[in-house]
Chain A
Amino acid sequence: AQSVTQLDSQVPVFEEAPVELRCNYSSSVSVYLFWYVQYPNQGLQLLLKYLSGSTLVESINGFEAEFNKSQTSFHLRKPSVHISDTAEYFCAVSAPSNTGKLIFGQGTTLQVKP
């Protein structure tokens, strides 16, 4: 079985400041790792994913996440946030040989202040 822990339920940050949203997972098998974003009053969208290969993955809007196998982490970072990044962010895992179901963390609300 897999589990995901997002260590911060809320992260307030000022605009243009850097941010890190933390995610740790537990699994007895190799997993795929994901970050999903849910903007206010919108559905879940895939932000970025790690399947294999390079441990550093990037999104089109400046976020990046690094898979660290030894620390079982997949933290999300952005060097300079915008007001429009205000949203809830979910870390998730799935086992490649399983049904593809996603196991989510509890979510982190990123609040970007002007």
Chain B
Amino acid sequence: GAGVSQSPSNKVTEKGKDVELRCDPISGHTALYWYRQSLGQGLEFLIYFQGNSAPDKSGLPSDRFSAERTGGSVSTLTIQRTQQEDSAVYLCASSASRYPGTSLYNEQFFGPGTRLTVL
């Protein structure tokens, strides 16, 4: 089947504007992760969804960042009042069911990313 898809592939915006980034996970994958890849910080975890709930939001850098997931499928990452330091590639990954507290391993499959440039 299809892999993880993300849209848009590139987004250029002006400082202060809001942006929405979309992730379509692999069908049937209930776990979804957002990561950010930037020059200064490398690859950082942002948020984890299991189904529609987000039990781990510990990586969101500020309250300007939020994410939601609907229908246990598509997820949207929203950045409000963008700043230049938000410029990065935002990666989404999905995996099969994840049950915290177990040792079950399911591979994460990554999407191609959205390159965000804040001018």
Q: Specify which chain A residues have a CB less than 8 angstroms from the CB of B112 in the assembled complex.
A: 42-43
**Cα–Cα distance between A68 and B84 once the two chains are bound (Å):** 40
* Nearest CB of B to A1, in Å: 10
B contact residues around A28 at 8 Å (CB): none
Query: Interface residues of A toward B: which range?
Result: 20 to 34
B: interface residue count bin? 20 to 34
Known A-B contacts A99-B98, A101-B48; A32 and B42 likewise in contact (beta carbons under 8 Å): no
Q: Does B100 make an interface contact (CB < 8 A)?
A: yes
* Interface pick from A19-27, A69-77, A104-112: A104-112
Contact call B111/A101, Cβ cutoff below 8 A: no
Can you list 17 residue pairs at the A/B interface with Cβ under 8 Å?
A: A32-B105, A42-B112, A43-B111, A44-B93, A90-B43, A97-B100, A97-B103, A99-B56, A99-B98, A99-B100, A100-B31, A100-B95, A100-B106, A101-B48, A102-B43, A102-B45, A105-B42
Per-position binary interface string of chain A over residues 21-65, scored 1 when its CB falls under 8 Å from any chain B CB and 0 otherwise: 000000000001000000000111110010100000000000000
Q: Which residues of B pack against A, CB within 8 Å?
A: 31, 33, 35, 42-45, 48, 50, 55-56, 59, 91, 93, 95, 98, 100-103, 105-108, 110-113
